[in-house]
């Protein structure tokens, strides 16, 4: 069903799966092509392959060149998060708070995402002081390359063509993954903004 080498490496390695779950909120599940079981409809052949703790779903789009990956949140937002599965894994491992970058994007402004980046880095280090060790392990075990600008990579994936519209079972189109919040909307960050 899924021919991606990175996917196969993850599925065959329980330790990697546990690290991705605990530190990156990415839980591999039994692959399924029945998107209605996950309460969304898409015009492409999608294979659901992972979920997060909030009920969000990750699906591979197999009938588009390079098989991009989409994220469908439990809150009615959806979009492409990687041109290829491995592109998303690299962004996720490099930037485990990628969902919060989208939340504090001011409706999709890269500059606002960059403003949020240092605050999110500080917060994740408070919660997971050894996360860099796990990032390096995942990169090594999966033979991933590093990226210097995960913010731009994530942004480019979301806005690039083809756009992949996702609909609820009732036929309503899901909203963009970009949210309207900006850094100054966070009361903990507001006084630290320069």
> Which pTM does this prediction carry?
0.93
Q: Please report which confidence band the pLDDT of residue 37 belongs to, taking 50, 70 and 90 as the band edges.
A: confident
- The CB-side HSE value for 130 (13 A sphere, CA atoms) comes to 5
- Percent of the chain at pLDDT exceeding 70: 98
Cα angle for residues 75, 172, 164 (degrees, 5° grid): 80
Give the pLDDT of residue 35: 87
Render pLDDT for 120-164 as a digit per residue (tens, 0 to 9): 999 999 999 999 999 999 999 999 998 999 999 999 999 999 999
**131 touches 23 (CB < 8 A):** yes
Residue 185 dihedral angles phi and psi, to the nearest 5°: -75, -15
Parallel, antiparallel or unpaired: strands 46-51 and 69-72:
unpaired
Is pLDDT at 36 greater than 90 in this prediction? no
Please report the beta strands in the chain, taking only residues with DSSP state E, as ranges in sequence order: 27-32, 41-42, 46-51, 57-61, 69-72, 78-82, 166-167
CB 144 within 8 A of CB 86: yes
The predicted-structure confidence for 49-67, as pLDDT tens digits, reads as follows 999 999 999 999 987 788 8
């Amino acid at each position: 069903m899924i021919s991606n080498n990175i996917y196969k490496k993850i599925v065959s390695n329980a330790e990697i799966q546990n690290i991705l779950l605990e530190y990156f909120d990415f839980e591999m599940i039994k692959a399924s092509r029945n998107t209605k079981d996950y309460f969304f409809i898409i015009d492409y052949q999608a294979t659901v392959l992972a979920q997060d703790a909030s009920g969000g779903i990750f699906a591979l789009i197999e009938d588009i060149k390079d098989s991009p990956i989409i994220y469908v949140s439990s809150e009615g937002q959806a979009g492409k998060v990687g041109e290829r599965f491995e592109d998303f894994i690299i962004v996720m491992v490099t930037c485990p708070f990628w969902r919060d970058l989208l939340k504090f994007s001011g409706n999709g402004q890269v500059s606002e995402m960059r403003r949020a980046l240092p605050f999110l880095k500080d917060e994740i280090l408070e919660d997971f002081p050894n996360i860099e060790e796990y990032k390096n392990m995942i990169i090594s075990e999966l033979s991933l390359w590093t990226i210097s600008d995960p913010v731009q990579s994530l942004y480019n994936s979301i806005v690039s063509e083809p756009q992949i519209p996702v609909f609820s079972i009732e036929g309503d189109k899901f909203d963009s993954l970009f949210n309207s919040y900006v850094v100054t909307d966070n009361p903990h960050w507001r006084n630290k903004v320069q």
